[in-house]
Chain A
Amino acid sequence: MALSAIDMNALAQRLARLDEVKGRSLWADARLRFGRNKAAMAGVGLLVLCLAFAAFGQAISPYSYDYIDFTIMGHAAEMGAPDWAKGYYFGVDDQGRDLFARAAMGTRISLYVGVVGTAISVLVGTLYGAVAGYVGGWIDGLMMRLVDVLLAIPFMFVLILLLVMFGKSLGVLLIGIGFLSWPSMARIVRGQTLTLKSREYIEAAQATGVPAFRIILRHIVPNLLGIVIVYATLLVPDIILTESFISFLGLGVQEPQTSLGALISEGAKTMRYGTLWQLGFPMLFFIMTMFAFYFIGDGLRDALDPKDR
């Protein structure tokens, strides 16, 4: 009995679909697990909220982050409370500046430092760790001793020294954080590289004469991605924390720019006059950002960590 062309077509389509389901990759599987994780999805929601606030907050506010309202300046306690009619959604700080725009600016800078600092750290740490692990031998030993030495150096103190010596600016802060936080990344990556380098496909690449550096870039690094992504996501809140810590001390981002840490610090200084909105709103966004990254990081670890399977 001959099948009609339509039937054949339907069958073909069905088979195609079946194939699609069968070939579930590591990444598709991870996506699925991540999507089922409620805390992680809540984290994504929070992060989207913070990102939107950072991106559009300054545009939404009728005031710019450095506009000074001289009628309120110095009278924040009596006149600076959140006032929707005037467009001061989060209130005004003691200098008469709109806190909504400033909180948006602070969130933007904190996220920016977190992401760029992590990017520097991941780039340096991954390459360093992959090279050390792949090359092995005394070079590996030497490179890892250097990491041990760097890890034993009190990070925060050196960062403060850097900032005081080379100017309290966003650039110095970023470079300092990025270059001081890569050693632990390098260690994780090296450990993974050691298990990867005895795989057959590496041997195949070596046999066909691919140079070592190309093997690292084309075959080792892509296979490290899972673990690198997980640790990078968990590194972002750490770096935001460091940045806020430094800015809280007044050594980080400088006026009129601001960051969440600097805003919290200002809020803490003025809270005794009853201007609690100055403390509350920056703290809210700080806590939301931290939660978002922790939840996403935990979710990604559950989704990507092969040990958990």
Chain B
Amino acid sequence: MLVFILKRLAVAVPTLLALIVISFLMMHAAPGGPFTQEKQLQAAVLANLNAKYGLDQPIWVQMARYVWGIVAHFDFGPSFVYKDRTVNEIIAQGFPVTLSYGAIAFVLAVGVGLVLGVFAAVFQNSWLDHLAVGVSIGAQVLPNFVMAPILVLIFTLWLGWLPGGGWEGGDWKHQVMPVIAMATAYMASIARIVRSSMLEVLTLNHIRTARAKGLPTHKVILRHALKPALIPVLSYLGPTFVSMITGSVVIDMFFSTAGIGKFFVDAALNRDYALMMGVTLLVGVLTIVFNLLVDVLYAWIDPKIRL
């Protein structure tokens, strides 16, 4: 197990380096820079600014400095646009917001999806099953950017129950719609995966044995069917969590929640190299960590899988 984790981490390092190189090259290959403005700066001023932020160095020197800053001091550099703040500070401010509604949405999607899927499978072809399948098929085509306007339309404009945006330090009223908008489509996918894998598991011999020895249905499901049925879901969860973080780009823009998504888009539009790199790296690291976690969980839940 330890060897496996170490091996995976060994792959993670080149992955992150590749991410840095690709993003760096992309950012510098395009014309313009963070100090390109409509009103042209004087050449000397521009040169000084570039020198201050190290932009006058060759690209590989910049890259090496950047990586060194992260490795040695965990410093992602100063933001080029938010002049008085560092990337560390901006991420420290934005990420908890994203994480807050992202984590709640994740728990909601997994919880509801699981329950829907299990009930649909256990009561296959009953009205409950048809309802669950109907809901999950319907919800699958409702990504966050479709759900968000619909929710605002209903709960803010028609019913007037919830505020249409803002964050207010994470007050629950401001979290309801971001959470639901983000969770819906994933909940549907999870429900469908759980249902089909549960149906498969329920035909296996050990379930028949458990039933034959007289265990009540709920015990059969909880003790014997749930764990094997969850395996296909697990592999879906790693990418899902990361998609939720990515989805925050829409949520942050639409609901004006101050998460990293908004900072990322602002940074991209303003050529704030350091902030863009910081957010991209953060998501990259999360992707790697969650995929690793899922793999470890996999091995733990299913001993047949050799790492």
| Residues of chain A with a CB closer than 8 A to B143's CB | 241, 244-245
Q: Closest residue to B30 on the A side, CB-wise?
A: A165
User: Interface segment, A18-26, A60-68, A263-271?
Assistant: A263-271
| Residues of chain A with a CB closer than 8 A to B254's CB | 268
* Contact across chains for A161 and B146 when beta carbons are under 8 A apart: no
Residues of B253-298 contacting chain A, CB below 8 A: 253-254, 264-265, 268-269, 271, 276, 279-280, 283-284, 287-288, 291
| Residues of chain A with a CB closer than 8 A to B214's CB | none
| Residues of chain A with a CB closer than 8 A to B12's CB | 152
What is the CB-to-nearest-CB distance from B26 to chain A, in angstroms, rounded to a whole number?
A: 6
Q: Is B149 among interface residues, defined by CB-CB distance under 8 A?
A: yes
Please give the residue numbers on chain A whose beta carbons come within 8 Å of chain B beta carbons, in ascending order.
145, 148-149, 152-158, 160-162, 164-166, 241, 244-245, 248-249, 251, 261, 264-265, 267-268, 271-272, 276, 279, 283, 286-287, 290-291, 294
| Residues of chain B with a CB closer than 8 A to A249's CB | 249-250, 253, 265
Q: Given contacts A157-B246, A271-B157, list 14 more A-B pairs with CB under 8 A.
A: A148-B15, A152-B19, A153-B22, A157-B264, A160-B249, A164-B268, A164-B271, A165-B30, A248-B145, A261-B145, A268-B152, A279-B149, A287-B141, A294-B140
What is the CB-to-nearest-CB distance from B259 to chain A, in angstroms, rounded to a whole number?
A: 14
5 contacts between A and B (CB under 8 A): A160-B264, A161-B23, A164-B271, A249-B250, A268-B254
* Contact across chains for B153 and A271 when beta carbons are under 8 A apart: yes
Q: With A158-B22, A160-B268, A161-B268 as known contacts, state yes or no: A152 contacts B149, CB within 8 Å.
A: no
Q: Is B242 among interface residues, defined by CB-CB distance under 8 A?
A: yes
With A and B bound together, what is the CA distance between A291 and B146 in angstroms?
Answer: 14
| Mask: chain B, 1-42; 1 = CB below 8 Å from A; 0 = not | 000000000011011001100110011011000000000000
B283 contact from A154, A283, A290, Cβ within 8 A: A154
* Contact across chains for A162 and B284 when beta carbons are under 8 A apart: no
Q: With A158-B22, A245-B145 as known contacts, state yes or no: A153 contacts B264, CB within 8 Å.
A: no
Smallest CB-CB A-B distances: 7 pairs:
A165-B30, A268-B149, A290-B141, A154-B283, A164-B268, A248-B145, A156-B246
* Contact across chains for A157 and B283 when beta carbons are under 8 A apart: yes
Q: Is B182 among interface residues, defined by CB-CB distance under 8 A?
A: no
* Contact across chains for B146 and A283 when beta carbons are under 8 A apart: yes
* Contact across chains for A286 and B146 when beta carbons are under 8 A apart: yes
Q: Is B177 among interface residues, defined by CB-CB distance under 8 A?
A: no
| Mask: chain B, 61-97; 1 = CB below 8 Å from A; 0 = not | 0000000000000000000000000000000000000
* Contact across chains for B11 and A264 when beta carbons are under 8 A apart: no
A161 contact from B27, B142, B152, B246, Cβ within 8 A: B27
* Contact across chains for B268 and A154 when beta carbons are under 8 A apart: no
A267 contact from B149, B249, B265, Cβ within 8 A: B149
With A and B bound together, what is the CA distance between A283 and B143 in angstroms?
Answer: 11
* Contact across chains for B280 and A245 when beta carbons are under 8 A apart: no
With A and B bound together, what is the CA distance between A122 and B150 in angstroms?
Answer: 34
| Residues of chain B with a CB closer than 8 A to A166's CB | 30
Q: With A152-B287, A249-B250, A294-B140 as known contacts, state yes or no: A162 contacts B26, CB within 8 Å.
A: yes
A287 contact from B11, B19, B146, B148, Cβ within 8 A: B146
* Contact across chains for B250 and A248 when beta carbons are under 8 A apart: yes
| Residues of chain A with a CB closer than 8 A to B18's CB | 149, 153
